[in-house]
Chain A
Amino acid sequence: MEKFKKHRIRIIALILCVLLTILCVTPMLFSFFTSVRSELEIMTGGFSFLPDKLTFENYKELFGSDYSASYPIMKWFGNSLFVALVQTVLVVLISSTSAYAYARLDFPGKNVLFWFLMATMTFPAVINIIPLYKICQTLGIIDTVWALILPNIAGVFNIFLIRQFMAGIPKELDEAAMIDGANKFQIYYRLILPLCLPVLIVVAMFAFTGAWNDYLWPSIVMNSVDKLTITPGMQRIKSSFNTMHGHAIAGGFISVIPTFIVYLFAQKHFMKGMQMQAGVKG
């Protein structure tokens, strides 16, 4: 009886999960099936969930020369990849060195500085956007990848996450390494950094997807079409929606490939990252 009761609730939960899955996934499937219908079929065929004839021509044509003149999707893809990768590396480097100092070194002003940084997290970013543009303009980096990368790598939250993690590593390890003659930089690089790998992976993944998905800022600072990243680029593709449904949706799916791959391989870390941010142990 007890066992049946336990299973009963699991069966109800399973049914609800299946229903929720249908709700969540159907729009995605419908759009995917639309993207593998020919434009002619979409225009004349009316509503249909499944394609009459499966074709990948929309995907192929997106990369063809006709389309790429006004929507250089390959170029955008490359730009995004460059920005996201450079940003990820810099974020990991800059926030981990900083976190190392706040977690494991002593220096005058440390606590004041650290808590000041933490307090700025509550400052609404909307106030910064306009002056930030002016600063990038003054530095002469408008319409370059640096306007996308530089303002996004000094994030305070990452320092907080990494510092928390570093604080859990025994201090004796540093002392032992000091006795062996290692300097502070060697301790950071050889000892602490490898031990922090779990939190660094989390930081890196969120940096990557954050950079890849950034929309408002790139659409402000990038003027040239061929220098755009893919997320604001897709907004341009959307403008072709009236005539090219299939192409537009295909573009949407293509633009998600890198983050999807990262997610497939590192799904556990995403979950762990969300939990770390919320301060719960999973």
Chain B
Amino acid sequence: MLTINDLYVGYGDTLVVQGVSLDVAESELVSLVGANGVGKTTLLKTISGLVRAKSGEILFMGENITRLAPDEIVARGLIQVAEGRKLFPAMTVLENLELGAYTKEAHKQKKRNFELVFEMLPDLKTKARNMAGTLSGGQQQMLAIGRGLMSAPKLLILDEPSIGLSPLLTQTMFEIIGKIKEQGVTLMLVEQNVHHALGMADRGYVIEQGRIVLSGPAMKLLHDEHLKKAYLGM
């Protein structure tokens, strides 16, 4: 569904993503794990068209989307729930969700997706009239995911969904991600929380200094000696 070939991205003279190749197949959950500042968010921004690649290509459902504008990429069903949530703080929860269904395709499924989101994230229903900026961190993250689901994703990319959440909320968050997978949505999960992210994934990639250093079935990665030592403190 998503294929990235030898992608290079940088700001000025600094290369942040250095030759990344990866792929995500339909209805898979693929986790991309790595420490802070190794290029994960830059990679995702490039996938969504917010940052331009220096070279390499990104294919989505067989189409080259490397040079497309962000809105054109969203219209094709590649949706990203960005790090830092990127909500509209002075708009209500309801308005944020409505704007999730901005594209033509998402608008058609608006009613169904509203039901789905409220069923999966009931907190959002009780807070529907509140301003997004007044929600707690956990609720904001739920809203960001809810808004992503409103966009009718074929592939949903989640950037650090557990960042800043309490252990209990982190648990809830990963349960929600599990439920989204059950809905048949293809997922790419980008996380520092290696244990959780690989624990629920089909396959995983480990990124260090802008390069993929390890990849394979998630279970196998969890038992990899290098990964254990570097990320799991074992």
Do chains A and B interact in one complex? Answer: no
The chain A residues found within 8 Å of chain B, CB to CB, are none
The chain B residues found within 8 Å of chain A, CB to CB, are none
